[in-house]
Chains A and B, each alone.
Chain A
Amino acid sequence: MNISRRHLMILLPAAAVAWKHVLAGTPEDSPNYRMSEHWWGMLIDIPKCIGCGNCVRACQTENDVPDGFFRTWVERYHRSDIHLESPEVISPDGGKEGFPVVRAGEEGKFFFVPKMCNHCADSPCTQVCPVGATFITPDGVVLIDQKYCLGCAYCVQACPYGCRYIHPTKKVADKCTLCYHRITKGLTTACCEACPTGARQLADLKNPNDPIHEFLKTHTVQVLKPQMATGAKAFYNRLDGSVR
């Protein structure tokens, strides 16, 4: 084969770029898991949530979340019939040990809203990171590279949902990973595994057989703060208008 000098000058940089990718190897541990085949989200069915706090406890166990910090938490809303725009929201210790009893006949509407990272497709948190320590994976999970994080907390401020915190001992940003170490092994997340009523369901939006597609078509589903156009992928069924 006769390669002219001109062709060699074109081929060399192309080969260099290709070789860089060969050297990089593949980060996927699970042999059957292909990042390109998934786009993860979460379905949260508010009428099913009983506020037991199982998800909060399971998350803490699975992910070694320090006391007083939450990757997921449950809020109880009390939307008064008089003050529709200003609900009373409580979340004692993230709802980890449940909620105070409400007697029958109390005025207004009570309901539980589990909160977690929305794994936004266009997340503000990943856009503000100055060092590329937080990012969305090709399968749609917002993760933090804790070896790279400086702990500047810019992302903590940027998250419109308050889902991030600075880890008290590691001094780096921390948040829900959507149990990435579980979902890449074919398991569901710890919170979904522990939820006794099925109020939380892991959803793979790229899987055509996932029940999420039928659910989204047939139910009144909303995301939090849609006006911020974050591309949130935590879908709330029957979300009350007072939830912020």
Chain B
Amino acid sequence: MSGLKDAGHLFRFAGLFVLAFLVFLVVRSYVVPKTFGQYGHYRGASIGEIASRPIKFAGHQTCETCHTDISDIKTKGAHAHVNCEACHGALAAHADDPTTVTPVKPDTAVLCAQCHAASAAKPKDFPQVDPADHAGGVPCETCHNPHSPVVGSDSGASAGSDSSASAGAGSSAKTAKGGAK
């Protein structure tokens, strides 16, 4: 033991290290979030925080619980695979409170062209028209029912008397069937 007789200063110094380590452990336990490391090197609770954010698109299943009349028309038509909110926009607020939040009806003269305006970059089997040439500014819904757009399909568009419009619709009807399969 004679070797340790004059080693008191080393033990005191080692004690300081041990104390510093304990302080570190205490501070760490307060600073590191409780869920850090729950699943990996991150804060586990953040998953729940991100998952609990509110939704804005209600989803077509929600729409179909009330608007069965529209979904019945739509499922038979060429737009069967187009979800409600693809055209009508995000409407979770309307689904939560149908009476006070009422959706604005889209302008078909603008809306339809977003998809159906002709461009050689689009897939060949997708029905496309030159809006100015095809309708000349007449809103699409004059001839086409947006929920079942092929003119002459069972849902029945509102008009269709214009011969050039119906001829154009007839040709697009063929491509629409091709695109829908």
Residues from chain A with a CB closer than 8 A to the CB of B39 are: 135, 137-138
**Nearest chain A residue, comparing its CB with the CB of B92:** A62
Residues from chain A with a CB closer than 8 A to the CB of B47 are: 27-28, 35, 137, 143, 180
Asked if B4 is an interface residue, CB under 8 A from chain A, the answer is no
* B43 partner, pick from A29, A136, A148, A193, beta carbons under 8 A: A148
A4-12, A98-106, A221-229: which lies at the interface: A98-106
Residues from chain B with a CB closer than 8 A to the CB of A62 are: 55-57, 90
For window 117-156 of chain A, which residues contact chain B by CB distance below 8 Å? 132-138, 143, 145, 147-148
- Is there an interface contact between B57 and A193, defined as CB atoms closer than 8 Å? yes
Asked if B117 is an interface residue, CB under 8 A from chain A, the answer is yes
- Is there an interface contact between A180 and B81, defined as CB atoms closer than 8 Å? no
Asked if A194 is an interface residue, CB under 8 A from chain B, the answer is yes
Q: How far is the CB of B180 from chain A (nearest CB, A)?
A: 10
* B35 partner, pick from A24, A29, A78, A194, beta carbons under 8 A: A24
- Is there an interface contact between B117 and A28, defined as CB atoms closer than 8 Å? no
Interface residue count on the B side (C-beta < 8 Å) = 43
- Is there an interface contact between B42 and A148, defined as CB atoms closer than 8 Å? yes
Asked if A114 is an interface residue, CB under 8 A from chain B, the answer is no
- Is there an interface contact between A52 and B56, defined as CB atoms closer than 8 Å? no
**Nearest chain A residue, comparing its CB with the CB of B125:** A47
- Is there an interface contact between A27 and B34, defined as CB atoms closer than 8 Å? no
Q: How far is the CB of B11 from chain A (nearest CB, A)?
A: 25
Residues from chain A with a CB closer than 8 A to the CB of B83 are: 193-196
* A148 partner, pick from B40, B46, B52, B60, beta carbons under 8 A: B46
* B120 partner, pick from A27, A104, A185, beta carbons under 8 A: A104
Asked if A112 is an interface residue, CB under 8 A from chain B, the answer is yes
For window 55-84 of chain B, which residues contact chain A by CB distance below 8 Å? 55-57, 59-60, 81-83
- Is there an interface contact between B114 and A52, defined as CB atoms closer than 8 Å? yes
Residues from chain B with a CB closer than 8 A to the CB of A135 are: 39-42
* A61 partner, pick from B87, B89, B123, beta carbons under 8 A: B89
Residues from chain B with a CB closer than 8 A to the CB of A147 are: 43, 46, 49
- Is there an interface contact between A102 and B40, defined as CB atoms closer than 8 Å? no
Asked if A54 is an interface residue, CB under 8 A from chain B, the answer is yes
- Is there an interface contact between A110 and B46, defined as CB atoms closer than 8 Å? no
Q: How far is the CB of A108 from chain B (nearest CB, A)?
A: 10
**Nearest chain A residue, comparing its CB with the CB of B47:** A27
- Is there an interface contact between B60 and A30, defined as CB atoms closer than 8 Å? no
- Is there an interface contact between A145 and B42, defined as CB atoms closer than 8 Å? yes
Asked if A206 is an interface residue, CB under 8 A from chain B, the answer is no
- Is there an interface contact between A143 and B46, defined as CB atoms closer than 8 Å? yes
- Is there an interface contact between B114 and A54, defined as CB atoms closer than 8 Å? yes
- Is there an interface contact between A197 and B126, defined as CB atoms closer than 8 Å? yes
Asked if A1 is an interface residue, CB under 8 A from chain B, the answer is no
**Pairs A–B under 8 Å by Cβ, sample size 8:** A49-B123, A52-B114, A62-B55, A98-B114, A102-B121, A110-B120, A182-B57, A193-B83
Q: Write the residues of chain B forming the contact surface with A, with a CB cutoff of 8 angstroms.
A: 34-36, 38-57, 59-60, 81-83, 85-87, 89-90, 114-115, 117-123, 126
